[in-house]
Chain A
Amino acid sequence: MIQIGEILIGLLVLAGSLICALSAFGLVRLPDVYLRSHAATKSATLGVLFILFGTFLYFGFFLEHVSAKLLLGIVFVFITAPVAGHLNGRAAYRSGVPLWERSVQDDWKGDLKKREIE
């Protein structure tokens, strides 16, 4: 039983760090701010959640200490990460960072101009 728990926790933390590494790789690889923000908000969130959950299980099963702080951390990361991604993208667009040249569609540009004229 303890063996299974150990393996599970190890897998969780390993998967979390792998996901984080992949999303860091995405930050290097993807061509523009918006696409990088996709990688940073989604995969990094999931990676951090996996690691925190693995830590929570470790504390719970092996040190007999239910850490509510870790659960709170999971909730906070879960709530704030998408908002941070949204604000980054919005601030970048408002200060004129161009989209990748192979982008195909931009509905916002026209509407934003119309709004400024009004």
Chain B
Amino acid sequence: MALQILLNLIIAFVWMFLYNDWAAPRFAMGYLLGIICIGLLSRFWPHDFYMKRLWAVVKLLVLFVKELFISSYVVMFQIVRPRLAIRPGIFALKTELKSDWEITVLSCLICLTPGTLTLDVSPDGQTMYIHAMDINDADELSKQIKGTFEKAIMEVTRS
């Protein structure tokens, strides 16, 4: 991926050299051309086209912001209710993610999901202990986390 970005930058600089013009618009034009070239020649690369992964990163960011909004709303709603109707608890979540980086991102995302907070990651990195504000159905909660977040993170790291 880094190689493709580097090549794209080089194409952009060659484009600027060809025009002898050092302004930002020329660079942007060259970069766009580079994206098109690399996209057309993507079957010669061992990895996928890097814009695909960039798109996955953007999707992950949008997910982050969306979850932050939902979770703040949920927490505030619980706070202003006249009677506390919450059943907190700690549940364990098995994760399939491997590298430290993926697990860090997942735990940050979990901290921002509605009513969950990562408390610990086991030393082997297989299990996460999560404090949930409303643990009505830990299974459903963990299924939801797995379905959305793990998938989004995997799309970024393993495409």
A46 near B69 with CB under 8 A, answer yes
* Contact between chains at A89 and B127 (CB < 8 Å): no
A to B CB contacts below 8 Å, 25 in the list = A19-B72, A25-B79, A30-B79, A34-B88, A34-B117, A35-B86, A38-B75, A38-B131, A39-B75, A41-B111, A45-B68, A46-B72, A82-B108, A83-B108, A85-B117, A86-B107, A86-B111, A99-B90, A103-B89, A104-B88, A107-B92, A107-B129, A108-B119, A108-B120, A115-B123
Q: How far is the CB of B17 from chain A (nearest CB, A)?
A: 30
Count B-side interface residues using an 8 Å CB cutoff.
34
Which residues of A (68-104) have their CB < 8 Å from a CB of B?
78-79, 82-83, 85-86, 89-90, 93, 99-100, 102-104
> Which residues from chain A sit less than 8 Å from chain B, CB to CB?
19, 22-23, 25-26, 29-32, 34-35, 37-39, 41-43, 45-46, 49, 78-79, 82-83, 85-86, 89-90, 93, 99-100, 102-109, 111, 115
B135 in contact (CB, < 8 A)? yes
Q: Are B79 and A46 in contact (CB under 8 A)?
A: no
C-alpha spacing A32/B131, complex, angstroms: 12
CA distance A79 to B69 in the complex (A): 15
